[in-house]
């Protein structure tokens, strides 16, 4: 069966509709709650789950406990120092937002919703990279600069608990601000656009 092609107009309309709704808490309150969740229960709520949990609460997103459980594997940049878990958690929350706001039911609608969140993901990753100089956990936590002995101490004494709260705070604050302040939605990602080089 041939699927109807997605047009630029389809994507633009979905991006317009996806404007973040008014959150149930301020960006300051959301940031405080996310940091508290991360700092007080880091063995349970790592960077990615802390982010998802608070963004679900702020925007009344669906999924119950399941998204937080799904986010657990993203801590430590999927345990390889890749993309920051807090940023990964925020991207998961954007998917929940698209599901809630756009209510995709058919494959065609799901493809449009998937395209509609891309500019939001891109803008958040740009802003994060601009703020911290990288989106990679290994760079952000300076893992690459450590000797094997230092890395062992870093893990054993959970020193990442002192380093990572600003990353959790930033993504939560940024996403809640998008709902607090009425603004123009981002432009869609054009096909064939080369990937930017982020730190």
List pLDDT tens digits, range 149-164: 776 766 666 666 788 8
* DSSP-assigned states of every residue in 31-92: HHHHHHHHHHSTTTS-HHHHHHHHHHHHHT-S-TTHHHHHHGGGHHIIIII-B-HHHHHHHH
The CA-atom distances, in angstroms, between 57 and each of 19, 65, 117, 190 are 18, 11, 19, 32
1-29 confidence digits (pLDDT tens): 567 888 989 999 998 898 888 999 999 99
Place of tokens 């993309």: 83
């Amino acid at each position: 069966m041939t699927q109807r092609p997605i047009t630029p107009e389809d994507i633009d309309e979905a991006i317009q509709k996806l404007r973040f709704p008014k959150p149930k808490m301020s960006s300051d309150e959301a940031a405080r709650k996310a940091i508290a969740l991360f700092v007080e229960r880091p063995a349970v709520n790592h960077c990615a789950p802390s982010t998802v949990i608070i963004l679900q609460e702020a925007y009344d997103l669906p999924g119950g406990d399941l998204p937080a459980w799904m986010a657990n594997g993203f801590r430590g940049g999927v345990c390889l120092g890749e993309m920051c878990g807090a940023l990964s958690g925020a991207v998961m929350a954007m998917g929940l937002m698209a599901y809630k706001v756009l209510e995709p039911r058919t494959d065609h609608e799901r493809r449009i919703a998937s395209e509609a969140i891309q500019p939001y993901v891109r803008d958040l990753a740009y802003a994060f990279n601009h703020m911290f100089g990288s989106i990679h956990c290994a760079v952000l936590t300076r893992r690459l600069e450590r000797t094997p002995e230092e890395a062992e101490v870093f893990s054993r004494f959970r020193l990442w608990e002192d380093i990572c709260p600003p990353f959790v705070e930033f993504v939560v604050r940024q996403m809640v601000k998008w709902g607090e302040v009425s603004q123009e939605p981002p432009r869609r990602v054009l096909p064939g656009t080369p990937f930017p080089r982020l730190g």
